[in-house]
Amino acid sequence: MRKNFVLSFLLCLGFWLRVTTLESSAKKLVTIDNEFFQTYQNKVGKWILPSEFKMPISVYLKEFETGEAEFQEINQISITSLPPKPVFFPYGENYVKKLLNEGKGRTLVFSDYREFIWPIGSTNGVISSRLGRRKDSMHTGIDIRCPLKTPILAASDGVVVMSGHSGNYGLAVQIKHELNQLQTLYAHNSVIFVKEGDKVNKGQVIALSGSTGHSTGPHLHFEVRYQNIFLNPEHYIVFPNGASEGNVTAFKEEKL
C-alpha cells in the first residue's frame, strides 16, 4: 500500500515537473526598447533623425562614448556626412552604466515565444478598428490609435522581408517570424529604422508611428498573416495587463 502511494506520488511529481518545465521553457526574458535604449543589429544605442541633429556626428560619438569605426560599420556613412536618413549611435559601456544609474533602463517582461507582444511602446493605445468588413472593403488587420512618432515594436523575433513605401500602407515594415512562418505587417509609419534582411528581436523599435498612405490620422495598422491569409491579430497578441480593448496601459514590470 505504501509502495503504491509512493509510486503514485512520484508519477504525479514527475508529471507536474514536466508540465511546469515545458511552460517555463516557452517563456524568455524580453527587453522592450524605450526612448533612451534602442536596439539595432544586437547593439544598444539611440536612433537620431536628420531633423533632430543639433551637433556634428563627432560630438554625439563623444557624448555616447562610442567609436567612429563602429558607427560607420552600422550606418555605412562617414562622420563628416550630413545624414539623409536616421542614424544609429551605439552606446559605449560607461554611457550604458550612466543611463542605468539614472533609472532609464528598458522594461523587462517574460514572454511566451508563441505569442506576440503589444506592438507599440506607448503608455496607452486604443484599438480603433478591428479585422473584418468595413463599409465596402475588408479591413485586414487592427488599427491602434496612438500619438505621432510613437515607437513601433517588433511583435516577435524575425527577419525583415519588406521595408519602405507600399501603396495604401504608406511607409510599412513586414517581418517573417520563425514561429509557424507567420508574418506581421506594420503600416502608416512616419519613419522606418530597419531595412530588408535585418534580423530583429521581439521588443525592438523598428519604426515610429505616422499617417502615411491611406490614413486619416496617426495610428498603427497591424496585420498577422500566414501564406497571405489574414489572421486576427487579437488571437496572437498578449495585451499589457490583460487589456484587450479601449485604453491599453503599458508594461508595468521592473526596469533594469
pLDDT at 30: 94
Q: Please give the pLDDT value at position 45.
A: 98
Confidence at residue 232, expressed as pLDDT on a 0 to 100 scale: 94
**pLDDT value at position 256?**
34
How is the chain split into domains, by residue range? 38-101, 115-242
Residue 182 near residue 202 (C-beta atoms within 8 A): no
H/E run at residue 175: strand 171-176
Q: What confidence score (pLDDT) does residue 49 get?
A: 96
Question: Residue 12: its pLDDT value, please?
Answer: 44
Bigger pLDDT: 151 or 5?
151
pLDDT tier at 82 (50, 70, 90 boundaries)?
Answer: confident
In the block, residue with C-alpha cell 508540465: 19
Shortest CA distance to 164 belongs to which of 137, 135, 193, 129? 193
Average pLDDT over residues 98-109: 94
pLDDT bin (cut points 50, 70, 90) of residue 8 is very low
The candidate with the shortest Cα–Cα distance to 27, out of 90, 99, 102, 113, is 113
d(CA 162, CA 152): 15
- Biggest CA pair distance of the chain: 83
pTM of the model: 0.84
Angle among Cα 178, 169, 195 to the nearest 5 degrees reads 50
How many CB atoms sit inside 10 A of residue 71's CB?
23
Q: Which residues contact residue 8 at a Cβ distance below 8 angstroms, ignoring those fewer than 6 apart?
A: none
Buried b (16+ CB within 10 A) or exposed e, 167-180: eebbbbbbbebeee
Q: Residue 252: pLDDT above 60? A: no
pLDDT at 29 over 50: yes
Residue 123: pLDDT band with limits 50, 70, 90: low
Give the residue from 20, 38, 87, 98 showing the smallest Cα distance to 65. Answer: 98
Over 23-46, what HEC string results? HHHCEEEEEECCCCCEEECCEEEE
Record: fold of 115-242: Glucose Permease (Domain IIA) (2.70.70)
Which of 53-57, 138-142, 185-189, 241-245 is the most confident on average?
A: 185-189
pLDDT in tens, 226-245: 988 999 999 999 887 644 44
Q: How far apart are CA 86 and CA 75, in angstroms?
A: 9
* First-to-last C-alpha distance (Å) of the chain: 52
**Is the predicted pLDDT of residue 122 greater than 90, yes or no?**
no
pLDDT digits (tens, 9 = 90+) for 146-193: 999 999 999 999 999 999 999 999 999 999 998 788 999 999 999 999
The alpha-carbon radius of gyration of the chain (Å, integer) is 21
pLDDT on residue 238: 87
Give the closest residue to 149 by CA, choosing from 206, 212, 191, 88.
191
